[in-house]
Amino acid sequence: MADRVFIEVTVNGRVRSVDVPAHHTLLEVLREEMGLTGTKECCLVGECGACTVLVDGMSVDACLMLAVEADGSTITTVEGLATDAGLSPLQQAFLETGAAQCGFCIPGQLVSAQALLATVPHPTRAQVEEGLAGNLCRCAGYEQIIEAVLAAAETDTRGRTASSGMSHTPVIADRAATPDAEVAPQ
Residue 44 in contact with ligand FES, rule: CB under 6 A: yes
- Pick from 9, 26, 29, 51 the residue near ligand FES by CB under 6 A: 51
Give me the residues paired with residue 141 across strands: none
Residue from 23, 122, 125, 138 in contact with ligand FES (CB under 6 A):
138
Using rule CB under 6 A, residue 104 touches ligand FES: yes
Question: What is the CA angle 75-50-160, rounded to 5?
Answer: 60
Q: Please give the C-alpha separations between residue 186 and each of 1, 104, 146, 156, in angstroms, as whole numbers.
A: 33, 8, 23, 29
Segment contacting ligand FES by CB under 6 A, of 16-24, 40-48, 73-81, 124-132: 40-48
Q: Are 85 and 77 in contact (CB under 8 A)?
A: no
115 binds ligand FES (CB under 6 A): no
Closest distance to ligand FES from the beta carbon of 77 (Å)? 13
Half-sphere exposure of 157 (CA within 13 A, CB side): 9
Residues 6 or more apart in contact with residue 111 via CB below 8 angstroms = 52, 53, 54, 59, 76, 77, 78, 81
The CA distance from 78 to 29, in Å, is 15
Q: Is 38 one of the binding residues for ligand FES (CB under 6 A)? A: no
> Up-side HSE of residue 179: CA atoms within 13 Å toward CB?
7
What is the pattern of x (binds ligand FES, CB under 6 A) and - over residues 59-78?
--x-x---------------
- Determine, following the binding rule CB under 6 A, whether residue 49 of this chain makes contact with ligand FES: yes
Q: Which of 48, 53, 66, 128 binds ligand FES (CB under 6 A)?
A: 48
Q: Is residue 95 involved in binding ligand FES (CB under 6 A)?
A: no
Interacting residues with ligand FES (CB under 6 A): 41-44, 46-51, 61, 63, 100-106, 137-139, 141
